[in-house]
């Protein structure tokens, strides 16, 4: 849908190119949308004049949009007071995961051992190694843990090339604030992407976490509150009227054992599935 494309490009920071204040998401693939698509492609090193959206370009637009929740977390660190020592290792799973996602995106997956661990939100030797390498490659001394101002500034500078000039303007309203019912839900058994939800949905999330504790599994969040129906890696077409758009839904995977995922191949064998998975899903 053209309106979803326009909303997505707006959130990616291309407000000026879209002439958003005049047209917003009007569903017309006109000159403004062409300019926004072309601007995104140029920033992300893909050839396009903006008159059409190739499959590769569409995938990258959705991928960059999917990373925004993590980038908002990094923005919140960037705007925080760093005069007192702040450590990556003492951050939330969401903040550590955000750094892991970013470093993998810009080419430090090997140091992170990303294929094995992914963005697990746990600070270990691999994450430390990746941070040290990234800092060193950019002329900054780092022990891989301390969030110094030069390092945090470098993170934001590294994000900016992927997005339009206005992406940070939306960060504040996509994170909890006094005027919004949106919260960042964190719990002992939640991992994966930042779990943004309406405050009225929190009791249900707490129940899910309690069930996960009983079953000894982790809830790996792949999607929560979102503003469009564009979902990276969606197996089925997402609903136009989705609970996700109101902050009352999450997409998740079940993680059990030694970082194993109960994917469709595992679940298709139900009830012959690993006991923790059966206990949680039953």
| Residue 195, pLDDT score | 81
Helix (H) or strand (E) holding 107: none
Point out the domain boundary residue: 66, 83, 117: 66
96 inside domain: yes
Tokens of 134: 């990234």
Q: Bridge-partner residues for 183, per DSSP? A: 197
| Residue 227, pLDDT score | 64
Point out the domain boundary residue: 14, 46, 66: 66
Clarify whether residues 239 and 194 are in a common domain: yes
150 inside domain: yes
Domain span holding position 15: 2-66
Range name among 33-42, 110-119, 197-206, 240-249 with the lowest pLDDT average: 240-249
Clarify whether residues 74 and 124 are in a common domain: yes
- The total number of structural domains in the chain stands at 3
193 inside domain: yes
Point out the domain boundary residue: 104, 130, 162: 162
Per-residue pLDDT band for 231 (boundaries 50, 70, 90) equals very low
Helix, strand or coil for residue 275?
helix
| Residue 49, pLDDT score | 95
169 inside domain: no
The residues near 206 (Cβ < 8 Å, ≥ 6 apart) are 187
Mean of the pLDDT values across residues 163-186? 77
pLDDT at residue 236 is higher than 60: no
pLDDT tens, residue by residue, 64-118: 888 888 888 888 888 888 887 789 998 888 889 889 999 999 999 999 999 988 8
168 inside domain: no
Clarify whether residues 157 and 196 are in a common domain: no
Gap between the Cα atoms of 101 and 193, Å rounded = 9
48 inside domain: yes
Clarify whether residues 88 and 45 are in a common domain: no
């Amino acid at each position: 849908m053209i309106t979803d494309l326009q909303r997505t490009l707006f959130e990616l920071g291309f407000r000026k190119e879209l002439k958003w204040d005049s047209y917003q998401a009007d569903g017309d693939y006109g000159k403004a949308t062409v300019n926004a698509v072309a601007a995104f492609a140029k920033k992300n090193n893909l050839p396009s004049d903006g008159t059409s959206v190739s499959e590769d370009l569409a995938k990258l637009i959705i991928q960059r949009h999917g990373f925004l929740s993590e980038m908002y977390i990094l923005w919140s660190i960037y705007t925080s007071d760093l005069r007192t020592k702040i450590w990556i290792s003492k951050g939330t799973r969401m903040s550590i995961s955000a750094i892991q996602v970013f470093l993998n995106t810009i080419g430090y997956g090997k140091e992170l051992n990303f294929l094995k661990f992914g963005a697990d939100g746990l600070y270990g030797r691999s994450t430390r190694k990746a941070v040290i390498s990234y800092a060193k490659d950019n002329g900054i001394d780092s022990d891989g843990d301390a969030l110094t101002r030069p390092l945090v500034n470098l993170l934001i500078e590294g994000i900016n090339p992927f997005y339009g000039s206005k992406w940070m303007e939306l960060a504040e309203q996509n994170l909890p604030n006094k005027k919004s019912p949106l919260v960042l839900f964190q719990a002992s058994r939640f991992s994966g992407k930042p779990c943004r939800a309406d405050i009225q949905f929190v009791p249900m999330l707490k129940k899910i976490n309690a069930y996960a504790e009983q079953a000894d599994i982790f809830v790996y969040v792949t999607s929560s509150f979102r503003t469009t129906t564009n979902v990276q890696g969606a197996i089925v077409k997402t609903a136009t009227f989705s609970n996700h758009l109101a902050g009352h839904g999450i997409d998740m995977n079940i993680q059990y054992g030694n970082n194993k995922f109960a994917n469709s191949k595992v679940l298709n064998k139900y009830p012959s599935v690993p006991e923790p998975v059966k206990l949680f899903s039953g």
